[in-house]
Structure 1
Amino acid sequence: MGSHAHRHVLRGLGSNPALPAELLRPLLECKVPGRVAAHLRENLPDWLAEEFAASEHEEVLLWLAGTPNLPAEVHRALAPHPEAAVRWRLTRVADELPPDVLDVLVTDPDSQVRQFLAKYAPAGPLARLAEDPDPRIRELAPRDPELPDGLLEELATDPEARVRRAFAGHPRLPLTYLLALLADDDARTAEAAGGNPSLPVSEMARIIAAAGLGKSVE
């Protein structure tokens, strides 16, 4: 069997659902990265996960980082990995990550990693991400139902229109901030404020009357 064909046979073995877990180890020692058995995703043995985490093959690490039910030590090994692609793949299992690993990812130097974390993380880290320098991350903060009032008000007056727009429809937005957003220079932000269900009916009626569209609702 030629080396090219042999390589493909090994890749096939790596995805064979009948391959025992212990036989995956030798595949890490050859130059056939990443074609690990998908059937092990839900029940990957801890010892094998730890060996995968020490692999130099990025394809293996990318697969591993997005695999659920990993030991905390594997998460800790992957969180500071120099390849951003490995770190952002780790955010896909953010709801399983220990707090210290979330702390590492919240301050990741790559804004895309922080953005993915804001999408996938449980509410806890979002309060910290709400103060992120990247507006694409700040605008995701409304996902946190317990976002502190001070941050809510701060983000409703954010210098970036896309952030203000994300908060214009927030049901906990204080009325004074909501009224200010109705007059926002960004038309789509003002539109989002008009669609906020917390807007008092009296204010709705005033807006309609001001537009000359009919009598004010009493």
Structure 2
Amino acid sequence: MNLDAELSALAAQKDLPADLVWRLLRHPAARRSMALLRQDLTEQLIEEIIELGSARSLAANSSVPADVRARLAEHPEPSVRCAVAASVTDDPLGLVARLADDPDPSVRSFLAMNDHLPPELLARLAADPEPGVRSSIIQHQRDAPNRVRRALLTDPDPDVRRNSVLVYSPASDLLPGLLADPVTRAAAVRYAAPSPELAADPDPAVREAVAAHPDLPTGLRDLLADDPDTFVRNAIAARPDTTPALRERLVTTLETDSPLAEWVLSYRRNPNTGGSPPAARPILTREQAEALLAEAGL
């Protein structure tokens, strides 16, 4: 770990003596770390952090007093208001509604990430004029109310519609329209019964979705095993119900000159499960902390 990272970790260390915290304020990375992570910031420390230019990190700290976050919600820098919007509660009353009216769409996009929004405000953001705000709801509100889901699934923006179908299960009355829409058809396939028509769709993304469908009949599986598209055949090879002999035959047809395409194909057949979590950083004694501060000239 380099010196900046060690100082940042020390700045967030629980029960760190106050005099060491104040010394760490002089180091920009350590100051941002304490502003973001410490739960014991005093009023004086908060004012000093703001004065030294780390208001954005402070705004993202849910442990600072409500009046401080409300004050930061009026900050002239949009990035500071974004940090507040992402997790602030409606304290004082009306704060989240003010953020929903922020003139900068990035602030409203960050507000759409907030887990504390009432349904009526989420519905209001789902009708925001900026597609990026509406897309933020899809990315961060997986349990959005039904009226919000319906609005996004029928959104006028094609990217919003497509991404909505990837995240939300559509109501049965919306499914025919989503399957008829070229933009959403591939994503909607998972909610429909596989059919010969879908398996013969001119869009390879649709055929790939059919090939990955959990209820794919054996006949369609064997038909798609001979599909001209590599990714469709790869989806058949990845199926748990594909016979070993068929899988072995398919893999021999998946060779490509592109290392990236080869990696993608292989990953889809054998997705990894992620690495081990990082090791916990050690707690420094005062003597160790003093030595680190001295090394940094603090």
TM-score by length of 2: 0.54
Q: How does 1:3-152 map to 2 (within 5 A)?
A: 15=34, 17=38, 19-21=41-43, 24=46, 32=53, 34-37=55-58, 41-67=61-87, 69=89, 71=91, 73-93=94-114, 95-121=115-141, 122-124=143-145, 125-142=148-165, 143-145=167-169, 147-152=170-175
How has the CA–CA distance of structure 1 residues 22 and 107 changed in structure 2, closer, same or farther, with 3 Å as cutoff?
Answer: farther
- Are the equivalent residues in 1 in contact too, given 2:55–2:72 (CA < 8 A)? no
**2:257 aligned partner:** none
Query: 1 CA distance for matches of 2:31 and 2:182?
Result: 55
How has the CA–CA distance of structure 1 residues 70 and 180 changed in structure 2, closer, same or farther, with 3 Å as cutoff?
Answer: farther
Q: How does 1:116-195 map to 2 (within 5 A)?
A: 116-121=136-141, 122-124=143-145, 125-142=148-165, 143-145=167-169, 147-160=170-183, 163-168=184-189, 170=190, 172-175=191-194, 178-195=195-212
Query: 2 CA distance for matches of 1:91 and 1:184?
Result: 36
Query: 1 CA distance for matches of 2:56 and 2:225?
Result: 65
Structure 1 segments of 4 or more deviating over 4 A? 8-18, 25-28, 208-211
- Are the equivalent residues in 2 in contact too, given 1:13–1:19 (CA < 8 A)? no
Identical aligned pairs, as a percentage?
Answer: 25
How has the CA–CA distance of structure 1 residues 27 and 195 changed in structure 2, closer, same or farther, with 3 Å as cutoff?
Answer: closer
How has the CA–CA distance of structure 1 residues 44 and 100 changed in structure 2, closer, same or farther, with 3 Å as cutoff?
Answer: farther
- Are the equivalent residues in 2 in contact too, given 1:182–1:190 (CA < 8 A)? yes
- Are the equivalent residues in 2 in contact too, given 1:165–1:192 (CA < 8 A)? yes
Query: 1 CA distance for matches of 2:55 and 2:225?
Result: 64
Amino acid at match of 1:90: L
Query: 2 CA distance for matches of 1:208 and 1:198?
Result: 14
Answer with 1 or 2: which has the greater Rg.
2
Amino acid at match of 2:155: D
Question: Is there any run of 5+ residues in structure 1 with no aligned partner, and where?
Answer: 1-7, 212-218
Query: 2 CA distance for matches of 1:44 and 1:188?
Result: 48
TM-score by length of 1: 0.72
Q: Number of paired residues?
A: 193
How has the CA–CA distance of structure 1 residues 198 and 68 changed in structure 2, closer, same or farther, with 3 Å as cutoff?
Answer: farther
Query: 1 CA distance for matches of 2:206 and 2:224?
Result: 18
- Are the equivalent residues in 2 in contact too, given 1:130–1:141 (CA < 8 A)? yes
| Residue 90 of structure 1: how far off its partner (Å) | 1.5
Query: 1 CA distance for matches of 2:219 and 2:94?
Result: 56
Question: Is there any run of 5+ residues in structure 2 with no aligned partner, and where?
Answer: 1-24, 228-298
RMSD over aligned CA atoms reads: 3.3
| Residue 44 of structure 1: how far off its partner (Å) | 3.1
Query: 1 CA distance for matches of 2:219 and 2:177?
Result: 26
- Are the equivalent residues in 2 in contact too, given 1:49–1:64 (CA < 8 A)? yes
